[in-house]
Amino acid sequence: MTTSAPDPATPLVSVRDLRTHFPVGGGLLNRLRGQRRVVYAVDGVSIDIMPRQTLAVIGESGSGKSTMGRTILRLIEPTAGTIHFDGKDITALSGEELRRERRRMQMIFQNPYSSVNRRYRLVDIITEPLRVHGIGDARFRQERAAELLERVGLNADFLHRYPHEVSGGQLQRVGIARALATEPTFLVADEPTASLDVSVRAQVMNLLADLKAELGLTLMFISHDLAVVSYIADYIAVMYLGRIVEVGTKEALESAPQHPYTRALFAAAPKPDPRQRRTGAAPLGEVPSAINRPSGCHYHPRCPLATDICRTEYPVLEWKTSRQQAACHAVPAVTPPPGATLQPVVKA
């Protein structure tokens, strides 16, 4: 289904020093005083995503994970940095050129109901990307819609239904079918199962895993749900206030998280077992505002390991084991593994 077989050794998506800052209001008076407040939603992220791999991005609300996904797809304008897609710099593309690249990168949204036009039938929803990109004639698109519906486990009876006539799980399948319509190689899935019930969540996760394997998709999976991340990810990146604080293979992070924030996040994950109740105090405090970020390491006010240097200097992301990097003054770095580039790139 992919147009050209991507080279497994070069990243499909390569992001360098990506920044997405949003100016916030603050009123006329502040503007006259020259005080501009800025939300540092994404603040200097570099990451490579290898073909056919799934990078999961985790973090709390306000960590910038959704903004990062949208910025990479150029749905939000980056403030600085570069985005390469399949070797091509797409950071500054616009108009027709951008649209051509967009065919190969699509998005699956969190809430299936709010991400479709309620007045469209499902067939219109699924074929909309084809119409936008001028692919095929009406008959071709209709057939493609039926094919896609079947691919996501719904029969052709659904084609002429409206969104309110199907369940949330079924509509999320439609959202996936729509994302697949233009035969993309790269998908960004932003909390695709967060609004689904447990019994339906597993269906959608299995579908995504199947599609990834069968179509050779490269996936950026944004989620706060560690259990679904653990099911689908090859790599995990942990974000905190706009920056990646830890990144590495799923196995490395799960077996030995290095950053104190990753550890706190994993420890806070509730377990569906009454014999494993969390005991002791919950991690202190809340995520600070992305406008007034703490100095130095943004995590230091909540960090049990914080020392003086943490209050003044932001730690760089460095290798802490041969399979993961973290940005923390308190954790000793190791010599980068041979051939290591910027990211923990492990060949598929």
Partner 1 sequence: MSQQPNGHQEGGLGPADEVLRVRGLTVTYQSRGRPVPAVRRFELSVGRGEIVGLVGESGSGKSTALKAILGLHLGAETEVKADELVLDGLDLRSLSTEQARRIRGGQMSMIFQDPINSFNPAWTIGSQFRRVLALHRPDLSRSEYDDEIIRLLADVGIDGRGKLKSYPFQFSQGQLQRIMIAIACASKDLKVLLADEATTSLDVTIEAQVLELLRRLRRERNLAMILVTHDLSVVAEMCDRVVVMYAGEVVEVADVYDLFERPQHPYTQQLLKAIPHFPHGGGRLYAMRGAVPRLDQPISGCTFAPRCDRHLGSICDTVPPELRPTANTGGAVAACHLIGRAEPARKD
Query: Which residue, 105 or 226, has its beta carbon nearer to partner 1?
Result: 226
Strand-by-strand arrangement of the 324-326 sheet: 105-108, 186-190, 218-222, 54-58, 235-240, 243-249, 324-326, 318-321
Q: Tell how far CA 260 is from the center of its chain.
A: 21
Site membership for partner 1, residue 117 (CB under 8 A): no
Under rule CB under 8 A, which residues in 168-207 are in contact with partner 1? 168-170, 197-203, 205-206
Under rule CB under 8 A, which residues in 208-247 are in contact with partner 1? 209, 224-231
CA quadruple 227, 231, 236, 237: dihedral sign: negative
The set of residues, in sequence order, having a beta carbon less than 8 Å from that of 216 and lying 6+ positions away, is: 1, 2, 51, 52, 185
Please tell me whether residue 307 adopts helix, strand or coil conformation: coil
CA angle 210, 214, 218 (to 5 degrees): 85
Task: Give the interface size with partner 1 as a residue count (CB under 8 A).
Answer: 44
Question: For residue 171, which of 143, 191, 195, 188 has the smallest C-alpha distance?
Answer: 195
Residue 301 Cβ vs partner 1, minimum distance, rounded to whole Å: 13
Choices 94-102, 107-115, 213-221, 265-273 (CB under 8 A): range interacting with partner 1: 265-273
CA 55 – CA 233 distance, rounded (Å)? 6
Exactly one of 28, 277, 292, 347 binds partner 1 (CB under 8 A); that residue is: 277
CA 90 – CA 68 distance, rounded (Å)? 15
Helices 198-215 + 168-180 axis angle, to 10? 20
Exactly one of 33, 99, 100, 278 binds partner 1 (CB under 8 A); that residue is: 278
Exactly one of 24, 92, 138, 268 binds partner 1 (CB under 8 A); that residue is: 268
Q: Is residue 33 classed exposed, middle or buried when 0-12, 13-18 and 19+ CB atoms within 10 A define those classes?
A: exposed
The set of residues, in sequence order, having a beta carbon less than 8 Å from that of 24 and lying 6+ positions away, is: 37, 38, 39, 291
Query: Which residue, 87 or 270, has its beta carbon nearer to partner 1?
Result: 270
Residue 149 Cβ vs partner 1, minimum distance, rounded to whole Å: 16
Residue 64 Cβ vs partner 1, minimum distance, rounded to whole Å: 14
CA 103 – CA 178 distance, rounded (Å)? 11
Contact flags string 22-61 toward partner 1, x per CB under 8 A? --------------------------------------xx
Choices 21-29, 174-182, 283-291, 330-338 (CB under 8 A): range interacting with partner 1: 283-291
Exactly one of 88, 131, 160, 271 binds partner 1 (CB under 8 A); that residue is: 271
Residue 231 Cβ vs partner 1, minimum distance, rounded to whole Å: 4
Site membership for partner 1, residue 323 (CB under 8 A): no
Site membership for partner 1, residue 266 (CB under 8 A): yes
Residues lying near partner 1 in the complex (CB under 8 A) are found at 60-61, 167-170, 197-203, 205-206, 209, 224-231, 254, 264-266, 268-278, 281-283, 286-287
